[in-house]
Amino acid sequence: MGIIVGLVIAIGCMLGGFVAMGGHLIVIWQPWEFVIIGGMAAGTFVIANPLKTVMDSGKATMEAFTGKGPKRQDFLSLLGLLHALMRELKTKPRNEVETHFDNPTESEIFKNFPEVTKHPDLVLFICDYCRLILIGNARSHEIEALMEEEIGTHTKYKLKPYSAINTVAEALPALGIVAAVLGIVKAMGALDQSPQILGGLIGAALVGTFFGVFASYGVLAPLAIKVKGVREKQCAPYTIIKQTLIAYMNGALPQVAIEHGRKGIAGADRPTIDEVEAATVPGGRAPAAA
């Protein structure tokens, strides 16, 4: 929604200001200039990126428009799941706890947190490192280093659409110049025409430069930043898991360990201590009304 509102403001102010200066909107309508620039941008985008990244960029763009990232309840559900698993690790024998990680889709604990289980990669991440904790001889700093390496790899993969879109945004002003040069070439072929016709051709050519710059700095660059923000937020649960499990491995009680994870949640998405207590401790107090 924010992207649409922003585009309406940007385009409205741009066109409104042009009209207020006495300009005529029909002059800006140069569809073949748009075809040249858009086609070159799409072509270079496909050349520069594998098909998987091209498809993921479309998905990331839709996620940016819808703001599809973990919300407060998703973080609360993740903390609740981690707390339940840590209690199992602390109080149950290894053979009983292993069943939850060997087949999480059949685990009653995982079934209680559908907000987490709808993300298979996240479930796999939790199960892998809980298995390492079960082994018993793994050192926390070694596990932490391994987690950070995996999180870095995952984040790099998730941010590929941002890099791909941002690269096209950086190239668009130059592509606009290409379209403008082609328009000037066309105008040079009409030097024997009247100044009115020649002026119209030159003006049409300059629209290419205008469109390339506007599409870059007014549309794609902000969109790339939005994609980056949404994707980084989608990666946040992995860091929360890391902080929570490492605190547990270092001797923290489950209720204290999830505080390490809760502190990694930023802004309005961070649940309160009361909300976490209500979601994790049997008989815990309900969160205070806002």
Q: What pLDDT is recorded for position 283?
A: 38
Distance from C-alpha of 62 to C-alpha of 55, rounded to nearest angstrom: 11
- Classify residue 29: in a domain, yes or no: no
Q: Are 186 and 201 in contact (CB under 8 A)?
A: yes
Instruction: Say how many domains are in the chain.
Output: 1
Are 79 and 240 contacting, i.e. CB atoms less than 8 angstroms apart? yes
pTM (predicted TM-score): 0.85
Q: Is residue 285 part of a domain?
A: no
Specify whether the CB–CB gap between 190 and 271 falls below 8 A.
no
Helix axes 120-135, 94-102, angle to 10 degrees: 160
Q: What are 246-284's pLDDT values in tens digits? A: 999 999 999 999 999 999 888 788 988 888 888 776 533
Identify the CA nearest to 79 among candidates 284, 256, 238, 262: 262
8 Å CB contact between 14 and 207: no
Q: Domain residues for 102?
A: 79-148+240-280
Are 239 and 170 contacting, i.e. CB atoms less than 8 angstroms apart?
no
Q: How far is CA 172 from CA 4, 58, 143, 179, 218, in A?
A: 21, 18, 44, 10, 11
38 occurs within a structural domain: no
- The residue ranges of the chain whose pLDDT is under 70 are 1, 281-290
130-135, long-range: CB < 8 A, 24+ apart: 130/85, 130/89, 130/97, 130/100, 130/101, 130/245, 131/98, 131/101, 133/89, 133/245, 133/248, 133/249, 134/89, 134/94, 134/97, 134/98, 134/101
Residue 222 included in any domain: no
Kindly state whether residue 98 falls inside one of the protein's structural domains: yes
Output DSSP code: residue 105.
G
Tokens 């932490």 — which residue? 144
The answer to whether position 49 is within a domain reads no
pLDDT at 18: 86
Q: How far is CA 226 from the centre of its chain?
A: 7
- Under 8 Å between Cβ of 171 and 213: no
Classify residue 90: in a domain, yes or no.
Answer: yes
Provide the pLDDT for residue 3: 83
Instruction: Tokens 């649940």: give the residue.
Output: 271
* Predicted local confidence at residue 290, as pLDDT: 37
Asked if residue 130 is part of any domain, the answer here is: yes
Residue with tokens 């209500």: 278
In angstroms, the CA 262 to CA 76 distance is 9
